[in-house]
Structure 1
Amino acid sequence: MGIFLRTRLPACAAALLTVAAGLGIRAAGSGVVAKYAGDALYTVLILTLVVLIAPRVRPVTAAGVALGFSCAVEFFQLTDVPAELAARSTLARLVLGTSFNAPDLFWYTCGAAVGWAVHRAVRTRGSAGQSLGTTG
């Protein structure tokens, strides 16, 4: 139960907050700010899902997996497959996108960096609490 309360529950909450932030930015904003914030948050969401699945993952590994996945999805858009799937499914459109956009790669990197920093800070704080005999 300790790993659930210490890592998985916060990761689940972070994933939900990330989705809410992404939807909020899209609803309230427009143009490139909303688009690129959404790109960065996409990678943050992937990072939180990695932590949810593998709670002991190191921050650098979680960020690397999230960035790699995000970039792979972006390069997959160079094929016609994501656009064809997106035409049939809203979920596919949200997860896979429709067309390649090189600047997205930069914003995925920003999302991975922010996610890494937050994960590292939270994990470091938790480790300090454990070394003091508390549960963090």
Structure 2
Amino acid sequence: MSPVRLRRWAASAALAVIVVAGLAVHGLAPDTAATDIAGDALYAAAVYAAGVLLLPRRRVGVALAAAAWCVAVEVFQLTGLPLTWGAAFPPVLLVLGTVFDPRDLVVYVCAVAAAAAVDVLVTRRARPDGSGGLPRGAAQRSMGR
């Protein structure tokens, strides 16, 4: 399987699991700080996985775009529009959230970084040469061989 197909397949599988986990946290777990943080982390990981589906050849770009999206959504909550729109159509709240919380910004960035690290590890492990999609010889040079 090509590295691009592998990344897309892994991102699709991860996205499905993340969405199910996020809905479970949102709908079944009590509303606490821990579940809020878990939900935010799952949201950021889902955004990263969706980015991999759209741009499977870009690693850093996907991570930067995912973090930027999450931060933009959080800052957009300062306008009050997501809460207003969510009152009319509740699923909007799953995408745009409700109210601004500065802690969420930290959670988003950390979760995107973790998702990107898992992406690198999964892709690297799946490649026979362990390069993670780097050009031939680049992995060995970067490891000092």
- Coarse TM-score class (shorter-chain normalised): 0.7 to 0.9
Report the Cα offset of residue 124 of structure 1. 2.0
Aligned letter for 2:113? A
Report the Cα offset of residue 2 of structure 1. 4.3
Aligned letter for 2:79? T
Aligned letter for 2:72? A
Q: Supply the distance in 1 between the matched residues of 2:89 and 2:4 (Cα, whole angstroms).
A: 33
Structure with greater helix share of residues? 1
Report the Cα offset of residue 22 of structure 1. 1.5
Q: How many residues align?
A: 129
Q: TM-score under structure 1 normalisation?
A: 0.84
Tell me the percent identity.
37
Q: Which residue of 1 aligns with 2:19?
A: 19
Aligned letter for 2:6? R
Report the Cα offset of residue 4 of structure 1. 6.5
State the secondary structure of the residue aligned to 2:78. coil
Report the Cα offset of residue 33 of structure 1. 0.6
Structure 1 residues 4 and 91, CA gap change in structure 2 (3 angstroms)? farther
Q: Which residue of 1 aligns with 2:139?
A: none
Q: Which of structures 1 and 2 has the bigger CA Rg?
A: 2
Aligned pairs (5 A) from 1:62-81: 62-81=62-81
Q: Which residue of 1 aligns with 2:36?
A: 35
- Cα offsets for 1:101-128 (capped at 9, x unmatched): 11111111121121111011122223x3
Q: Which residue of 1 aligns with 2:98?
A: 98
Q: Supply the distance in 2 between the matched residues of 1:69 and 1:96 (Cα, whole angstroms).
A: 10
Q: Supply the distance in 2 between the matched residues of 1:67 and 1:6 (Cα, whole angstroms).
A: 23
- Cα offsets for 1:24-82 (capped at 9, x unmatched): 33313540111111001111000000001111111x32221111100000000111221
Q: Which residue of 1 aligns with 2:10?
A: 10
Unaligned runs of 5+ in 2: 131-145
| Mapped contact 2:3–2:123 kept (Cα < 8 A) | no
| Mapped contact 2:86–2:93 kept (Cα < 8 A) | yes
Report the Cα offset of residue 5 of structure 1. 3.9
Q: Supply the distance in 2 between the matched residues of 1:95 and 1:5 (Cα, whole angstroms).
A: 27
Which of 102-111 and 25-34 deviates more? 25-34
Which of 23-32 and 107-116 deviates more? 23-32
Q: Supply the distance in 1 between the matched residues of 2:123 and 2:50 (Cα, whole angstroms).
A: 16
Q: Supply the distance in 1 between the matched residues of 2:77 and 2:51 (Cα, whole angstroms).
A: 22
Q: Supply the distance in 2 between the matched residues of 1:29 and 1:125 (Cα, whole angstroms).
A: 37
Aligned letter for 1:39? D
